[in-house]
Amino acid sequence: MSPASSPILRPATAADIPAITAIYGPNVAEGIASFEYEVPDAAEMARRQAAVLEAGYPYLVAETDGTVIGYAYASAYRSRPGYRFACENSVYVAPAAKGLGVGKALLTRLIAECTLRGYRQMIAVIGHLGNHGSIALHRACGFTVVGVLPSIGWKRDRWVDCVLMQRSLGAGDQGPPDAG
């Protein structure tokens, strides 16, 4: 993808699972942004996608020339009912597409989709304080750092911090949410 081209953003389908699995796998196997140890297979990624969609959250892919180059989805921030107006985001971009605006396009669309669904706060849980790309992406989309959990995870023979970022959606905390 060249900087001049824009990816097509669309809802993810089960047919996208192989590409999604391929994008996510190296983050588990080689990185510290994900706190998983074992790379999930396509069946597990399909189960996760189905759970996100069944819960009513958006799950998007970015593609160019018929190739999925990134994906993003929202999920429950926490399961207790008092958190039902907050959601958490996840964004992953193929290595060859990093730095080309794919993550920002996906996150911007995800924010809009979650706002339309009535969510009032979006949380980013970013593994690794040194994940400057993800932190910059979220800042560019209106998130602010609200906390750091030092040494909360253990991966690749080291302690890993977790950065919490937050962004209001729609009216945010200005008044009660719609009934629901």
pLDDT at 179: 56
Model confidence pLDDT, tens digit, residues 40-86: 999 999 999 999 999 999 999 999 999 999 999 999 999 999 999 99
| Yes or no: domain 8-168 corresponds to CATH 3.40.630.30 | yes
Can you tell me the distance from the alpha carbon of 135 to that of 141, in angstroms, rounded to the nearest whole number? 10
Confidence check: pLDDT of 1 > 50: no
Mean pLDDT of the chain: 94
Can you tell me the distance from the alpha carbon of 79 to that of 82, in angstroms, rounded to the nearest whole number? 8
CA distance readout (Å), 106 to 98, 115, 118, 137, 166:
12, 14, 19, 11, 17
Nearest Cα residue to 9 out of 107, 140, 119, 116: 107
Q: Which helix (H) or strand (E) holds 78?
A: none
Q: Where are the domains of the chain?
A: 8-168
Name the phi and psi angles at 20, rounded to 5: -60, -45
Confidence check: pLDDT of 180 > 70: no
Confidence check: pLDDT of 178 > 60: yes
Other Cβ atoms closer than 10 A to 117: 15
Range 79-108 average pLDDT:
96
Can you tell me the distance from the alpha carbon of 131 to that of 22, in angstroms, rounded to the nearest whole number? 20
Model confidence pLDDT, tens digit, residues 8-18: 999 999 999 99
